[in-house]
Amino acid sequence: MAISNLLTFTNSLLLVILAILCSNGFPNLFKPQSNQTNIVIYVHDYFTGEDASAIAVGGRKGSESNVLEFGTLIVVDDPVTEGPRIESREIGRAQGMYINSQSDGKGLYMVFSVIFTGGEFRGSSLEIQGSDLFTLKEREFGVVSGTGFFRFVKGFGIMQTENMDLVHLRAVIKLNITVKHY
Ligand SMILES: *[C@@H]1O[C@H](CO)[C@@H](O)[C@H](O)[C@H]1NC(C)=O
Ligand SMILES: *[C@@H]1O[C@H](CO)[C@@H](O)[C@H](O)[C@H]1NC(C)=O
């Protein structure tokens, strides 16, 4: 009798501890997680205007270099929104760089983080790396890994130019990302 009481008590204690862990410390550790996550986000890459978020820092003409010329290095802190319009909810920033890496000027090499500051993935980030042959309608890139909810992930994304103002160099890019959790 005494032993079975003790067992029940121990079991209850374990359940309480588990409940506390799930509710506070480790939300993702215990949440049954599907193997894949799909996210569609929009990145606003603006070279001009009050809200410019991309600058050239080097290239053939130094910081006066054009993004469409081979060798130009761009640093970005681009707003990331839920929908295609800038007015839609901002859920993060795309921070990093890209370089014009194709001799005819029509290809970029990108390396940046998507840092989620709002929405479902707030506090987590994704690491993006790959080429962007931007004259193509759809470009595939790699998702190397991430942090928080995205620890250990690997995946890919499809990039499409949603909107492009070539005169002012203001672009909205759709990123459709699929990652696998390990
Ligand atoms: C996750 O992937 C593993 C191995 O690929 C598989 O055995 C498992 O059933 C998958 N789980 C879900 C929830 O899809
Ligand atoms: C995102 O890409 C997947 C394929 O990887 C596709 O099935 C899905 O329809 C796409 N979603 C959007 C909103 O474009």
The DSSP line for 17-66 is HHHHHHHTT-HHHHS---SEEEEEEEEEEESSSTT--EEEEESTTGGG--
Is residue 120 predicted with pLDDT exceeding 70?
Answer: yes
Q: What residues flank ligand 2, with Cβ below 6 Å?
A: 40, 158, 176, 178
- CB of 96 within 8 A of CB of 111? yes
Average pLDDT over residues 89-110: 98
C-alpha dihedral sign at 78, 43, 131, 104: negative
The pTM (predicted TM-score) of the whole model is 0.80
Residue nearest to atom 14 of ligand 2 (CA): 176
Q: How confident is the model at residue 28 (pLDDT cuts 50, 70, 90)?
A: low
Most informative mutation of 35, 37, 153, 178 for ligand 1 (most atoms within 8 A of CB): 35
Give me the CATH code for the 33-181 domain, please: 2.40.480.10
Average pLDDT over residues 28-34: 56
- Quickly tell me which residue has 């014009």 as its tokens: 100
Is residue 97 predicted with pLDDT exceeding 80?
Answer: yes
- Quickly tell me which residue has 């993004």 as its tokens: 67
How do the residues of the chain divide into helix, strand and coil, expressed in percent and rounded to 5? 20, 45, 35
> Could you tell me how far CA 85 lies from the centroid of its own chain?
17
CA distances from 132 to 1, 155, 175 (A): 70, 16, 12
Query: Rounded to the nearest 5°, which phi and psi values hold at 5?
Result: -60, -45
User: Higher confidence at residue 18 or residue 106?
Assistant: 106
Q: Residue 34: what pLDDT?
A: 74
* pLDDT tens readout for residues 32-60: 567 999 999 999 999 999 999 999 999 99
Residue nearest to atom 3 of ligand 2 (CA): 176
Q: Residue 6: what pLDDT?
A: 58
Q: Residue 2: what pLDDT?
A: 61
Which ligand is in closest contact with the Cα of 177? 2
Average pLDDT over residues 63-71: 96
Cα 68 to middle of ligand 2, angstroms:
28
Cα 74 to middle of ligand 1, angstroms:
40
Comparing CA positions, the residue from 124, 123, 131, 119 lying closest to residue 156 is 131
Cα 66 to middle of ligand 2, angstroms:
32
Q: Count CA atoms closer than 13 A to 109's CA, side-chain side.
A: 8
Residues 6+ apart with CB under 8 A from 71: 59, 60, 65, 99, 100
Cα 181 to middle of ligand 1, angstroms:
10
User: Higher confidence at residue 17 or residue 142?
Assistant: 142
